[in-house]
Structure formats: structure tokens, C-alpha cells
Structure 1
């Protein structure tokens, strides 16, 4: 792990699922954290709140002033035009970081082979990777698939489907392979690459120890929840559009976000290069243990049973 103690760091998306946990972990290991938010007056998380919005270029300079590293954890999946919006925001943020003298940008992207026909969501993640660094600040990218943790949108889709349905009519994407990662392991990697010279300008793939289909994940969550099987009837003609409509009926996840994520579920997202484990030691949690930890957090929050 890099010598991060005392580093002044900006975390964008500090109020989000990953950002809130990351702020806490960074403070615990000695970093001075600025939590960038559009409404600092109501921010109640860890770190010093600072006003900033990646879609307001004038706000970025003051937020980045004096920091040596910045985490870029924002996206616009809830917007129909997220591809264009995220590309524009990445360029603006990278330019502001260069002008402020930031030494390292750290970005959380998505897994998926570059040669595949990637979904708009995953293609946008790749574009953001590239555009963040166009002004010259070294970017460290961590590419991940589903993050298993309370309030992760992808995990919420999995949990709610497994919890609310006695059986499922399933689209073809339930057979797609993915490599989920526990929230704790993702945070460990994000903290670990901070101020690590070997990580500057590098892209790393991160995941848990198991490669699973989405169907396998759903069945295992159902078993952990109440020990029951989750019968599935594949229906190949269930298109992404129909899948999104179906999810609106069964879950309370934002429908636009869910639709954009569903489009990505046709892409296999597995780790093909695990060299980050040579830089940052520690055994990642297995899927079942990650699920139990996420469910425990959900129950503590009173949001599931």
C-alpha cells in the first residue's frame, strides 16, 4: 500500500455508496479528506464537505485546490443522455485537476474486454477513463463488475429479485458470467492505490475469487436469505427493454438506471489480469460471505428483513 498518511484527497461522489465508505476508510488510515458534494450544508458523512459539481466547471478549481489526489466516482446513469454528459464532465474534471497540480486521479470503471461489443454503459466507462487523463494527470483505473454491498444499485437489483420472487421468468442475460467483488475488497483496493507510484497511469481489474452467472448469484442469494430454491424459466425473447419493464414492477431501483445496467448484462465481465493482487495483498471475500455482510448492513439500516 502507498504511503497515503497525511495526503490531502478529494473524493467526488462522497455521498454515494462507494464514496461514503471510501471517505471513512481514507480518514481511518490518515488522509485528510475533502468530500465533494453539491450541497455541503447538508452533508453528514466523513471528511470536510466542499461544494463542487462535475457538471459545473467553475466549481471544480476551488474544490481541487491544494489536494494531491482525487477520486472520480460519479456517473449519470440515471440520465438518458449519460454518455455525452459523462464524457464532458470527465474532460472538465481532468483539466481542472491538471490546473490545480493534482498528482493522481483514481477512477472506478467497469470490467469487460475491450474487443467485445460493449454496452453503452461500459463503453462510456472506457471513454471516461481516457478523457480524465487528456490534460496530463496520471489516472489509476480500477475496473470492477457488481459490487456486493448495501446500497450498491447492482446488488440491490439482485437482492430484491431474489427476495421478492418465488420463481423467475428469466432473460438470456442470466447465463452471462460476472465476477462480483465485496464492498470491503473494493475499498481496500481503492485506498491501496493512493500514492502508489506503480499504480500511476495503470488500469487494474478487480474482483472476488468466484466467477458466477447472474442466475447463480440469484439462486445463492435466495438460499442465504431463507434456504429456498429459486426456480428459473429462461425466455430468450425477453429483450433488455422488456427486462427493464419487468424490473420496474418487481424492484424499486430507478428505472432509467436499471435499464442502462440491464443493457450491460449481455457483456461478460470477468477479471483477466489480476496483477493488482501483487501490489495490494489480502484475500478477497467469497461471494456468500460478501452477501451475508451486505444483508447484515441492510438489516441494520432497517431496509430489508
Structure 2
């Protein structure tokens, strides 16, 4: 199948691209800067930025769709037509949408909104048949964090396209390179005693990165999932406090938690940024997302995609397998790039999954 992956250089995207290639698919990737993207051999590279009105380019493929960018509706439309022409030239049948903003700030919703609209229009006009979106768990009846709300809005925008949209919703993704997991790892390693906000009592259902990729690839082989929304998670439901203490156990360190009600998300994010390598602009949306329970309540995906779930402890063991005992691994987060450890190919957008994450 001819597939386009957006967010291909992010935490989830890198692993997804490799799995799609292994499965024999014809894979294209959308990146912001082809010259700096570290991509595996065998992929076709599309250079462009979903946030900008400038042109998109099929690198080395004989299609040059550059256009002048005007800051009006006409320019906006021309830019979308440019992406359409590239998708049409590639004859893309299915696409993965793995980008979202990870920074705090007043305009991240508009960035998410604009990118999703550009993509939806282009994919529809190019005749893309299926799109798979990785969003975040969380009940709509709850007061969702701003970033979770934005995920839902992106989901709605993608749903207006002519293609069949499959949405997978996940909680914390456990793996080397996950911003959420790196925060947990560093806190567990550096602090034997933690004064924590109330969110440590919130339940979550972490999932291993390998399982996420297996679901993402698997839904393409399950036509019954076209047009559906599904929840994915690992076999263990834990509080965030239990997540912290169990990771500490894996690191051979004891951690004691003392929960206090006065720590706001803002204060908590400052605290996280002080004791970890994660900047406040990234820590705040991570902390805000942790106030919402993110537990699977619908297991219908299991009828269509067979994935042997990885236990939390096994997922942590794999994620910690590359750790140096002598020093911490800095989170590869840039405030202008992705929130889960890599450039996502879209300016100011993060690749990967979940509101608390990714």
C-alpha cells in the first residue's frame, strides 16, 4: 500500500515508518527539512510545513510544487493545492497523522487547527482513502486539559474529510524517547522523596511503544476499523504515583511521595523543569494532562487487531535498556520542535500520540 506518514521523525513516527517498511509498504514521509531528517533508506521524502502557506516539494521525485505564499485565503488555498498535487503524484492511498503542538502558550490550538485543516483538505482533494490519527484517551464528559481538548478538535477536523478516518486513543506511551516517560524516569531517579500534586492519584493505563506501533500498522489490515474510534492501552491500570514508584524500583531507588493539594499545574511544571531536563513549556502540558483519568473503557479494538499486550514492567525494562548508569539521558526536546524526542517535521508541532505525551 502507498502510505504517507506525517510526524515521521518523531518518537512514534520513526518506529512506525520502520514497521511499515518491514511490512512491505511503499512509504512516503512529510518533513520540514529533508536535508536534516534522519530517515531510513527506501522512503520517499516530501518537504513542506503544514503550518506554513509555502509550497511542498517531492524531494528528488521530479515534482516541484512550490508556490508563493500570501497571507490571505487565496494563498492558503494555493498552499493546500500544492500539497494536493504532491499527494496525487505519489498516489497516496492511506496516511498517518501524528503531529500536534506540545508547547504551552495561547496559540497552540490555532496551530493544531490550521495544520489539521491543511492536511484534511489536501488529503481529500488527492483522493486519499484512509487516514489514521493517534490521539489521547480521556472522557469527553470530564473537564479535559487544553491539550486534550485540542486533540479532540483535531480529530473532529480530520473527520470532515472525504477519507475514512480511524482514530486510536492512547495514554502515556512507554518507550525510550517519550517525553512523558523521560519526566517520570528522571523524577524517579533523582528524587528519593517527592512532594507531588494531587494528580499522582489519577489513574492511567500506560502502553508500550511497540504495542502502539502494532495497533497503528494493524488497523490498515483491518477494513472494519475504517471510520471507527478505538481506545488502546496496556494491561495495567496504575495511578501516576504507582508509575513513579515502580519506575524507581526498576532503577533500584526507593521513592516516597507526599501529595499536597496546593500545587497548581503551573507550579508543578516549574518544579518538574527544575529537577528534570524538560523545559517548562513542555512540562506544563504534560502535567495538565495528568489531571484527567486516561483508562480504556472500550476494548473493541481487540476484535480487529491482535496485539499481545506488553506489561508495564516489561515496557519499562525495554525503555530503560539504553540508559547509562552514570548519567541521565537528556530529553531531546526543542521548544520549536517536537515534544517527544525528535523533530516531527512540522514547525512547532509534536509528533506522537497523547495529550500527556507525546
TM-score by length of 2: 0.80
Contact 1:10 1:63 in 2 (8 A): no
- After TM superposition, give the deviation of residue 92 of structure 1 in Å: 1.3
CA–CA distance in structure 1, aligned partners of residues 229 and 198 of structure 2 = 30
Alignment pair present for 1:41 and 2:67: no
1:131 to 110, 132, 157: 157
Q: What is the CA–CA distance in structure 2 between the aligned matches of 1:134 and 1:76, rounded to whole Å?
A: 21
SS of structure 2 residue aligned to 1:40: coil
Deviations, residues 43-83 of structure 1 (Å, cap 9, x unaligned): 22222222122113543324423110110001111251211
Distance in 2 between the 1:79 and 1:304 partners?
23
Change (3 A) 1:229 1:143: same
Which of 204, 216, 222 does residue 248 from structure 2 map onto? 222
Question: Does the 8 A contact of 1:51 with 1:63 survive in 2?
Answer: no
User: Any unmatched runs of 5+ in structure 1?
Assistant: 1-6
| Alpha-carbon offset, residue 303 of structure 1 | 5.5
Counterpart mapping for 1:151-230 below 5 A: 151-226=177-252, 228-230=253-255
**Equivalent residues of 1:52, 1:63 under 8 A apart:** no
Q: How does 1:1-80 map to 2 (within 5 A)?
A: 7-46=1-40, 47-57=43-53, 58-59=55-56, 60-65=83-88, 66-78=91-103, 80=105
Separation in structure 2 between the aligned mates of residue 74 and residue 135 of structure 1, nearest angstrom: 17
Pair 1:276-2:301 in alignment: yes
2:139 pairs with one of 109, 113, 116: 113
Number of residue-to-residue matches in the alignment = 297
CA distance in 2, matches of 1:164, 1:89: 38
Task: Tell me the secondary structure at the aligned position of residue 232 of structure 1.
Answer: strand
Higher helix share: 1
User: 2:113 is matched with which residue?
Assistant: 87
* TM-score, length basis structure 1: 0.93
Q: Deviations over 1:208-231 (max 9, x none)?
A: 0010000000000000111x3211
Aligned to 1:215, the other structure's residue is in SS state: helix
Q: For 2:10 and 2:272, how far apart are their aligned partners in 1?
A: 22
Counterparts in 2 of 1:298 and 1:198: CA distance versus 1, 3 Å: farther
**3-state SS of 2:195 partner:** strand
Matches of 1:16 and 1:74 in 2, distance apart?
9
Cα–Cα, structure 1 residues 127 and 38, in superposed 2: closer, same or farther, change >3 Å?
Answer: same
1:148 aligns with 2:158: no
- Cα distance in 2, alignment partners of residues 231 and 247 from structure 1: 16
| Higher alpha-carbon deviation: 94-103 or 60-69 | 60-69
The superposition leaves residues 190-222 of structure 1 with CA deviations (integer Å, 9 ceiling, x where unpaired) of 000125321111100000001000000000000
Tell whether the 8 Å contact from 2:195 to 2:260 is kept in structure 1 after alignment.
yes
Structure 2 unaligned residues grouped into runs of 5+ = 57-82, 331-358
The answer to whether the 8 A contact 1:105-1:140 is kept is yes
Offset, 1:235: 1.1
Name the residue aligned to 1:288. 313
Q: What is the CA distance between 1:164 and its match in structure 2?
A: 1.2
1:245-282 CA-partner distances (Å, limit 9, x unpaired): 10110111132121012111110000000111111113
Between the aligned partners of 2:279 and 2:20, the Cα distance in structure 1 is 29
Q: Which has the higher contact order (CA 8 A, sep 6+)?
A: 2
Match of 2:64 in 1: none
Task: Deviation per CA, 1:21-54: give whole Å up to 9, x if none.
Answer: 0000000001111121111122222222221221
